[in-house]
Structure 1
Amino acid sequence: MAVSNTGALKDIAGTIVLAGAGKMGGAMLTGWLAGGLDARRVVVLEPHPSDEIRALAAKGVRLNPREATSAETLVLAVKPQTFPEAGPMLKPLVGPSTLVVSIMAGTTVTAIEKTCGGMVVRAMPNTPAAIGRGITVAVPAGNVSAAQRATADALLRAIGAVEWVTDEKLMDAVTAVSGSGPAYVFLLAEELARAGVEAGLPAELAEKLARETVAGSGELLHRSDLPAATLRQNVTSPGGTTQAALEVLMAGDGLKPLMIRAVAAATKRSIELAK
């Protein structure tokens, strides 16, 4: 069951603490400021800030302040493997009504509640967030209010689309499909270029053709209201070259069972990491 809650960055009250400002945390911060969030209301805790994050401090973002600051909202963007150590250090920032938004893969709502407390929203974004084209799926704990869901939605929507679910068990499959999915697409571009070289194209040309074809097709899929299957059919002429290739890709041992096995393997690993 999907839950629709939208809010605006300008409506968010209180101090927002961002714990972890690597690629994903940095992308979120950039999106917040571009969306009109007052930089002076953001505290960033990052032991190894990039030059880009340091530059944002000049705009008013408080970077690694000496004194701990209580947070109305705490965004956990640390690496999951560092959370057992970092989590207890962040707990003093969390009050009884603090919203905790986690984008850590494989870290359950219960684990976050035990370590940090607060009202937890668990979210899974993906790397196109770096250009504002991510897709994030979020699930709220039972004690998260509608207003807090709206706050989380606004913060996550700054890096792309957001979908809400009520069943946390879905997050492992979400991780396998959209969280890991960009790697599958990049692999497709790699192998399409490699196949072009095998067919006789110069390597540089094959890479260019594969890269632009994947990027352009993705943009067409993004802009079109048509299902992916219809767009595929629109490229395919009966008895033509595309049909010849699709007969290989859509064979019984082709892409469909391979993708099912790949997503199942990623889902299984996500479950294992959460234990």
Structure 2
Amino acid sequence: MSAPVRRGLAVIGGGRIGEALLAGLVRRSGPADVVVCERSEERAAELADRYGVEVVDLAGAASRARVLLLAVKPQDIATPLGLLAGHVDADHLVVSVAAGVTTARIEAALPPGVPVVRVMPNTPALVEEGMSVLSAGAHASEADLDEAEGLLSAVGQVRRVPEAQQDAVTALSGSGPAYFFYLVEAMVDAGVALGVPRELAGDLMVQTALGAAVMMRDSGQDPVALRAAVSSPNGTTVAAIEELDRHDVRGAMAAAMAAAHARSVELGGPQG
């Protein structure tokens, strides 16, 4: 009997990141070659209705799709890996977006030789402005990396790093959007305290953040130069930056990212 012909993608897990990736891929290529595995029947029905994809179980996903995208929480990954182990082989490609979970841990749970690619995406994938960083496992080839990169490029930009950098990437870009949201929240609150209506303060800060990000992306200048360009001697910006330095905001950010890095390492352990 000939081996089954597998093509397309199975998205395993229908949370925010799983749905973001699913949405981007369906927009780009249509739903025909995409299936979804989701343990909540209600959520599965919602995804099927919204994107026109078929919902299958894990065994069905492995038989239908060559690429298996694991979009589950790191503390939940042992269950789908255990269920997949009897259904995958070296002709599959497993792409994991579970924060902190190493390729070695995934490989150990699957049959020998299964290629694994580890990815750290972030939530701006929901608006196709994500930043995904991927690393190859022991059995993943350059072609496997190319294929994973092609998938992730549907929802934003992609970079490749050695896996040893993945926990730092998680602290930087994986959790990074939340840092920006936190800062904008604080600035909006400060604006309200200074007498600006909250809705207006929100509009001001969202457009300011968007404009600043585009300037960093498109100007070719680093953040230091861009900050200097709006920091007139003895002006308002300098007064604000001096106050940020007095409160050691840089040190607080470094400590926050170190905490995120440590938690990423912890999530990758056997117990998550």
TM-score when scaled to structure 2? 0.87
Partner of 2:240, secondary structure, is helix
CA shift for structure 1 position 78: 1.4
Q: How does 1:186-205 map to 2 (within 5 A)?
A: 186-205=181-200
Q: Distance in 1 between matches of 2:152 and 2:198?
A: 39
Residue type at the aligned position of 2:27: A
| 2:89 aligned residue | 95
| 2:265 aligned residue | 271
Q: Distance in 1 between matches of 2:253 and 2:7?
A: 44
Partner of 2:7, secondary structure, is coil
Partner of 1:250, secondary structure, is helix
CA shift for structure 1 position 86: 2.1
Q: Identify the match of residue 141 of structure 1 among 130, 134, 137.
A: 137
CA shift for structure 1 position 199: 2.3
Q: Distance in 1 between matches of 2:184 and 2:51?
A: 37
2:106 is the alignment partner of 1:116: no
Q: Identify the match of residue 256 of structure 1 among 250, 257, 262.
A: 250
Q: Distance in 1 between matches of 2:58 and 2:209?
A: 47
Query: Could you give the per-residue CA deviations for residues 167-200 of structure 1, whole angstroms, max 9, x where no partner exists?
Result: x221111111111111100011011011112223
Q: Percent identity?
A: 39
Q: Identify the match of residue 9 of structure 2 among 16, 41, 48.
A: 16
2:104 is the alignment partner of 1:106: no
CA 1:18/1:257 → structure 2, altered by over 3 Å: closer, same or farther? same
Q: How does 1:26-45 map to 2 (within 5 A)?
A: 26-36=19-29, 38-45=30-37
2:47 is the alignment partner of 1:47: no
Are 2:168 and 2:261, in contact at CA under 8 Å, matched by a contact in 1? yes
Deviates more, 1:202-211 or 1:93-102: 202-211
Unaligned regions of 5+ residues in structure 1, if any?
Answer: 1-12
Query: Could you give the per-residue CA deviations for residues 146-186 of structure 1, whole angstroms, max 9, x where no partner exists?
Result: 211111110111111111112x2211111111111111000
CA 1:227/1:126 → structure 2, altered by over 3 Å: closer, same or farther? same
CA shift for structure 1 position 52: 5.5
| 1:154 aligned residue | 150
CA shift for structure 1 position 66: 9.2
CA 1:157/1:52 → structure 2, altered by over 3 Å: closer, same or farther? farther
| 1:63 aligned residue | 55
| 2:123 aligned residue | 127
TM-score when scaled to structure 1? 0.86
Q: Distance in 1 between matches of 2:219 and 2:97?
A: 29
Q: Distance in 1 between matches of 2:44 and 2:85?
A: 25
Are 1:57 and 1:63, in contact at CA under 8 Å, matched by a contact in 2? no
Are 2:59 and 2:87, in contact at CA under 8 Å, matched by a contact in 1? no
CA shift for structure 1 position 221: 2.4
Are 2:9 and 2:33, in contact at CA under 8 Å, matched by a contact in 1? yes
2:165 is the alignment partner of 1:173: no
| 1:25 aligned residue | 18
